[in-house]
Amino acid sequence: MSRTVADVMATGLVTFAPDMNIHEAIQTLLDKRISGAPVVDETGHLVGVLSKKDCLKIVFSSRYHDDWGGPVRDYMSAPVETLDADLDIVSAAQTFLDSHFRRFPVLRDGRLVGQIRRYDILKALSEHS
């Protein structure tokens, strides 16, 4: 049986709620030293992603517009490209090759269940070469 995305993905992710304060979200990214995090609603459905790049745009533009803040939903990127948890590793590798993204949120039945990185795919493929 071939390995799937679910077999090698990371779980236990840092996530944000759409109504979380953007200042708190930025501080979490900095404190956890992560490049971004999924934004999920109260039912566990992925509604966006907030990245350091999104946050850098906010902070940079605030140098010219002193007033900034508000909920994560106002700054997150959406819609988000995702991978299905049951996708086989080879197909996932092709998706990475066809994309500029370094990681994808992983969904099962429309709900966030993990994240997979290029590293995870490379490691999985190299272990079975």
Per-residue pLDDT of the chain (129 residues; tens, 9 = 90+): 589 999 999 999 999 999 999 999 999 999 999 999 999 999 999 999 999 888 888 877 766 555 678 899 999 999 999 999 999 999 999 999 999 999 999 999 999 999 999 999 999 999 876
Q: Which CATH number does the domain housing residue 99 bear?
A: 3.10.580.10
Q: How many domains does the chain have?
A: 1
Cα–Cα distances in angstroms (integers) from residue 83 to residues 5, 27, 32, 55, 73, in the given order: 8, 28, 24, 24, 22
Residue 46's nearest CA partner among 15, 23, 89 is 15
Domain of 11 in residue numbering reads as: 5-127
Q: State the pTM of this model.
A: 0.87
If residue 114 lies in a helix (H) or strand (E), which one and from where to where? Answer: strand 111-117
The DSSP code sequence of 32-93 is HT-SEEEEE-TTSBEEEEEEHHHHHHHHHHHTTS-----BGGGTSB-S---EETT-BHHHHH
Token pair, residue 10, equals 């990371």
